Structure 1
């Protein structure tokens, strides 16, 4: 028997030259744009690999350790510890709120935010600890354990008051500390962590306040910043004296480290819309322009043939 090959016919619309050219141009444009978008994305295999340092290599005490992500100092390590310990008592507090106050929607909502927020924050701080060679605590502090014990002993409205006020006071302190770290840290990963901490903690303060049980009068009052020294203060250090000596002793002061080129933290925006392949985008525009010109020429050719037939 003879094999019968199927006959593929163009649809009536695509058989027309004008529509066929539009379809082909559209396909070419899509291919070029997809190629450009794919090439412009950060490489999944960075040219500068992210190294994982040995455990406990991130320094101790007052040490400032140089890492792939910039200097790591005592305040950076302390901040990581506090973020980790916050999750170690605030997630259990959220679980207590869900279990003990199932009939209170606002307590339930606050508890949900606590659990979800610190689950996310734990993932960030755990990864930062590994990449920076810093071992994180595995238990809440004694003070935090005491707050959880207060919640265990309380019920009803008393629980709501303990829950809202203990958590709101703690979040206020962490929020201020996170802002201080974010403003001054020289380590890229700590900047990422402190930014996420501020977002999460602010959300938690908001939902805790929405319970209506926060006693704002019991919160610590903010203090004004110390006034700047007079411009001609005789006691101010000379720029060429002690200050210059401090800068020479620690050349990293005042320098924001850059992320190693090619890592997953590299900003794609710095390389343009399509990374190093902006030419692909302009080529796509060129194809579209040529298609439009071709359509115009075909249209004029048809009109000319019709006129010649009429004569």
Structure 2
């Protein structure tokens, strides 16, 4: 028996959410906003919390600073039952911080990577990581660590665990084509529409998905307010988003990932996985903070029942 349903490898930081900021102050100027809130941030951390809320046993593998922000994140992990025995402490950097400005619309960010930049996937303890049945990666940095992540994925597959990955936004603008090699090791590969178009160099999500399906038999692309689309075993399926009023889109993709992979790891069909993902994403954006609105299992099922007419399978064989 495995100790964890999933081990998550990647980033954790503080999100300072600025609400009602409609302009950036000029030098010497002060502006007032509606609110400022502090939440756990970072794609891996937000996924972990959302996944744990669904009742999954999760261990987090990353690095925090030895400071108040780092202790706050550790305490939040413990509150949600996330195992922190793989969580390292930096002696060099403080915990990372992201300031999210005007999260109701197209967000802007100011980020200090902090202790996250110390995570070296080439030095992880494989025996500890494979205490999980599944490993979710959010630590791919293009050419900066491509060889190390490929080596990690190859070693984990050899030990019989299933793998998923969300590459996230490429802040270098490189959009390294090596990502297609990484896809070949993944049981589920997740990204959003913009990322898929950048990596493939194509203009339509359907063409992008077709291109990526040559490297993986299970690709999931998040389409924001248009829902999500999956290509698995030659079948393409789309499910529209649930209509909700968004107040903060931070972490919506990570919440989607938690819902989708919850379905996948419980052996559910692709349509149900998409429905779970869309539901978790919808509930996430309806609350401030990347995981504040993430549902538990009962809330997820209740939301789907209440909105069962809003999502319909659309399948296309390819």
In the superposition, the TM-score normalised over structure 1's length comes to 0.23
Larger strand fraction of residues: 2
Larger helix fraction of residues: 1
> RCO greater where, 1 or 2, for CA within 8 Å and sep 6 or more?
1
In the superposition, the TM-score normalised over structure 2's length comes to 0.23
